[in-house]
Amino acid sequence: MPPTKGGAVGRDDRSVTGKLFMLLSAFRSGRAELTLSEIAHRSGLAMTTVHRLVGELTERGVLERGSDRRYRVGLALFEIAALAPRGPGLREVALPYMEDLYEFTRENVQLGVRADDEVVFVERLAGRASVGVRTRIGGRFPMPPTGVGLVLLAHAPPEVRQRVLAAPLHRFTSRTLTDPERVRRVLADVRRDGFAVSDRQVTSDALSVAAPVFDGSGAVVAALSVVLRFGSVRPSSLAPAVRMAARGISRALTSAPDSIGETVAG
């Protein structure tokens, strides 16, 4: 915190919960192992606060310290995260259909849900020969450039679409759509056709075909996609298989125990 006029350090009025979240948010894909100083820098917390909180979290297994004195997320946090209802409940229902789709295509199969204005990937199956992707399980990604994200955004509340398209759209490749009006036209096509195609918008060598997953009330709660190497097959030829698998997950969610259906819809 900046010094006060008298030269004393101002008091940090943020709650302990807020500080913990800021500390844990310092860990991201590509920076999964951090030193104390790196945690302080990335979280914006004072070193004394970081030292105290990291010590407590390490004692409880939420963080782990390696022999190189770098910290990483511990198994205790993974165990807590596994209780998130929209992850495991949905994954448990979807996995058999995802496995069937993978066996049919031998390509990346991904399942994602909307979290605020982004897509979070809750499951992914991939083979050795599958094209590389930039997404990971538990990772967040912008919705507009991905097949899964296009489906989720197309069926999101109007205020969500407006908010997402009012913000700057990040360009990943020369084919990434960054014009909001063009994205709106694509979203209308997704709602009309029942599937989305993202053609080399995230990486220059891959495209995806995605379809919506519905709950018992008809609301879209997730999206399923296949990500394949560009030029290996026509996207339209994969759309029926992706839509069939998504419909299978939708039917399974409808007939799943109420506790699963409710938490996925929530």
Segment 64-107, tens digit of pLDDT: 998 899 999 887 877 676 666 555 578 889 999 999 999 998 88
- Split into its structural domains, the chain has a count of 2
pTM for this predicted structure:
0.70
Range of the domain at 209: 85-254
**Are residue 74 and residue 145 in the same domain, yes or no?**
no
Residue-level pLDDT at 230? 87
Residue 183 is assigned to a structural domain of this protein: yes
- pLDDT above 90 as % of the chain: 57
In-domain check, residue 260: no
Q: Are residues 120 and 70 in the same domain?
A: no
Both structure tokens of 75: 């198994």
27 Cβ contact partners less than 8 Å away, ≥ 6 residues apart: 34, 72, 73
Instruction: Report if residue 259 sits inside a domain.
Output: no
pLDDT of residue 6: 40
Do 89 and 76 have their domain in common? no
Higher pLDDT, 171 or 74: 171
Residues 74, 104: one domain?
A: no
Look at 8 and 178; give whichever has higher pLDDT.
178
Same-domain pairing of 53 and 155: no
Q: Residue 56 maps to which CATH number?
A: 1.10.10.10
Place of tokens 């709660």: 221
- Tell me whether residue 2 is in a domain: no
Hunting for tokens 């259909």 — which residue is that? 97
Task: Clarify whether residues 24 and 95 are in a common domain.
Answer: no
Question: Residues with Cβ < 8 Å from 17, sequence gap 6 or more?
Answer: none
Among 48, 81, 114, which residue terminates a domain? Answer: 81
Among candidate residues 59, 81, 103, the one where a domain is terminated: 81
Where residue 15 falls among pLDDT bands split at 50, 70, 90? confident
What pLDDT, on a 0 to 100 scale, did the predictor assign at position 11?
Answer: 55
Domain contains 266? no
197 lies in a domain?
yes
Last residue of a domain, one of 42, 65, 81: 81
- What CATH number does the domain containing 152 carry? 3.30.450.40
